[in-house]
Chains A and B, each alone.
Chain A
Amino acid sequence: MALNKATKILPALLESPKEYICLMRLHGDVEDSRLLEVVREFIGPIYQRPPLRSSVKRRLRIRRIYYIEVLEKDGKDVLLRIGCERGTYIRKLCVDIGEVLGVGAHMQELRRTKVGPFKEDESLVTLHDLVDAYKLWREEGVEKCIREVVQPVEKAVEHLPKMVIRDSAVDAICHGAYLAVPGILRLEGGIKSGDTVAILTQKGELVAIARALMRSEEILMAEKGLAAKPLRVIMEPGTYPPLWKSKGLGKVN
């Protein structure tokens, strides 16, 4: 859940990788070794046609499976941990695994355990925790609990590659300007053109979520050019001074 300004990061979260724990029911007996062998075949890109009851167009599409672990097998019940690209249908995946095994299978239960940087085990809070923490702060001024349940928006972009920019470039980005190469101080390797990236200040504040227009290595070597296009600006303009307006005064990046 995201509050106020932080709601702008939600589209980036939707396109992030997901992890599920899924209970698959086999329709016949299968040797453990055979199961492991078949499950392994599904790691990598797979073809899927969205099911009849789905919210997207039903055309064949490619989804990447990052990992599948067989956690437990009890007769015909198989517990799987699956890391996959957004938009992967796990119900479909179970049916397809069953088909390759030759006995058939279906999905019995499903639980999402990870969305981008958010995991099920750590930092998960209940509605009660949240309301108690809020009241404790509101009524008694206790900050500790609310700080434990509400995390800075930066947590939601932990999984994105980052670009750290100069103070002087911050306000222009807040107004929606493209990020130019000279404004960048540090960046992570492995960024490709078209990737979603997080633009941060040196103090670690999230300025915007952006689409990279150059590769990491190109940015590193270049002296000018546009490196990223803001998709969502999170920081409010005026947080940093608008140095970019001072034409001819001081150094303009």
Chain B
Amino acid sequence: MEERPIYIKAEEESNPEYGKPPEERSIEELLRYGVINLDKPPGPTSHEVVAWIKRALGVRKAGHGGTLEPL
């Protein structure tokens, strides 16, 4: 990935009373706004793996970001 310059248009302090840096999220929040770089086992389809993880982690929604074209 190429490096892109950063342009500063204005400066402002962020109010610490709301929001928080991503690394300070609680585990519950992390699971709400989380991604997993998963090594999908061969065998089950991506769809099956997603369904399985939803059950195992008790999350309501989950999805995958694509698979290889069938060979």
- The answer to whether A and B assemble together is yes
The smallest C-beta distance from A106 to any residue of chain B, in angstroms, reads: 11
B1-52 contacts to A (CB < 8 Å): 1-2, 4-12, 14-15, 18-23, 25, 27, 30-39, 41, 49-50, 52
- Judging by beta carbons under 8 Å apart, are B21 and A150 in contact? no
Contacts of B37 in A (CB 8 A): 1, 118-119, 123-125, 151
Query: Which residues of A line the B interface, CB within 8 A?
Result: 1-7, 9-10, 13-14, 53-54, 89, 91, 109-112, 115-119, 123-127, 130-131, 134, 137, 143, 146-147, 149-156, 158-159, 161, 166-167, 170, 184-190, 201-206, 216, 219-220, 234, 239-241
- Judging by beta carbons under 8 Å apart, are B27 and A137 in contact? yes
A111 to B14, CA, bound (A): 43
- Judging by beta carbons under 8 Å apart, are B36 and A3 in contact? yes
How many chain B residues touch the partner (CB < 8 A)?
50
- Judging by beta carbons under 8 Å apart, are B59 and A3 in contact? yes
- Judging by beta carbons under 8 Å apart, are A1 and B65 in contact? yes
Determine which of B9, B19, B33, B60 lies in contact with A184 in the assembled complex, contact meaning CB atoms within 8 Å.
B9
The smallest C-beta distance from A60 to any residue of chain B, in angstroms, reads: 18
**Cβ-closest 6 pairs across A and B:** A152-B22, A202-B14, A13-B65, A189-B5, A188-B4, A150-B34
B44-71 CB contact bits vs A (8 Å, 1 = yes)? 0000011011001101111111101111
